[in-house]
């Protein structure tokens, strides 16, 4: 796959572990919603014991493998220096080839689910969930509230307008930007369209979130 430097964003691993498992947080903004009754997803598949045996045997923390057509990545993060009683935390990422969606799950040392989120490549989408040890949701964050349209909306719109599918990373690499500052032109979807035959013909599409206005930026640095 081609490396598209402008579209590499930093995804902080701490997103999955932003709260202590036994602590119920108060919402800091309208994006933080407390207490749904049922968890977003079951936590049964990460075998912590098996993972630790392999980690000790092979001497590293990061494993990638394919299972039932899905790409699985499992990792362990060491205890923080300022938390000597911590046993560290585990993370699992589930994705498919040529698909931008990634499921990200965090577990405590007992193998209990403590965080669940979904990203579009590296960007958080929909809602993320954090849990206590009993499996009760203690925090929900909604990442869609800042946008009028979702990636699903943009996909359908762009398929009709240009025949481009942003759910296929062989066709396009998409991200979204929100620098609103009372200016709707600063909220947009930024899409890098890939040419299968010649990367010199790759170009950029910007779709403004408020209006769905499309602008194209070709190599000659002109917009349409």
Each domain of the chain, given as residue ranges in start order, spans 27-142, 151-217
DSSP lists the bridge partners of residue 32 as: 141
d(CA 37, CA 79): 30
Three-class SS of residue 17? helix
- The predicted model scores a pTM of 0.73
Decide if pLDDT at 34 tops 90. no
Of the pLDDT bands very low, low, confident and very high (cuts 50, 70, 90), residue 171 is very high
What number of other Cβ atoms are within 10 A of residue 136's Cβ?
13
Q: Which residue has the higher pLDDT, 191 or 45?
A: 191
For the stretch 78-128, pLDDT in tens is 776 665 556 778 999 999 999 999 999 999 888 888 999 999 999 999 999
Q: Which residues of 61-76 are buried (b: 16+ CB within 10 A; e: fewer)?
A: eeeeeeeeeeebebbb
């Amino acid at each position: 796959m081609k490396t598209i430097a402008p579209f590499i964003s930093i995804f902080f691993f701490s997103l999955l572990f932003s709260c202590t498992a036994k602590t119920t947080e108060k919402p800091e903004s309208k994006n933080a919603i407390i207490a749904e009754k049922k968890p977003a997803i079951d936590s049964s598949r990460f075998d912590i014991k098996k993972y630790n045996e392999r980690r000790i045997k092979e001497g590293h923390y990061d494993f990638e493998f394919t299972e039932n057509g899905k790409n699985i990545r499992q990792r362990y993060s060491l205890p923080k220096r300022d938390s000597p009683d911590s046993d560290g935390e585990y993370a699992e990422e589930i994705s498919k080839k040529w698909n931008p969606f990634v499921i990200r799950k965090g577990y405590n040392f007992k193998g209990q689910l403590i965080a669940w989120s979904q990203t579009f490549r590296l960007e958080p989408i929909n809602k993320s969930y954090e849990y206590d040890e009993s499996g009760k949701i203690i925090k929900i964050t909604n990442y869609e509230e800042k946008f009028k349209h979702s990636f699903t909306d943009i996909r359908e719109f762009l398929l009709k307008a240009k025949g481009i599918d942003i759910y296929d990373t062989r066709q396009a690499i998409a991200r979204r930007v929100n620098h609103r500052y009372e200016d709707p032109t600063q909220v947009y979807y930024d899409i890098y369209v890939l040419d299968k035959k010649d990367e010199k013909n790759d170009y950029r599409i910007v779709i403004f979130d408020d209006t769905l206005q499309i602008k194209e930026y070709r190599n000659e640095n002109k917009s349409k």
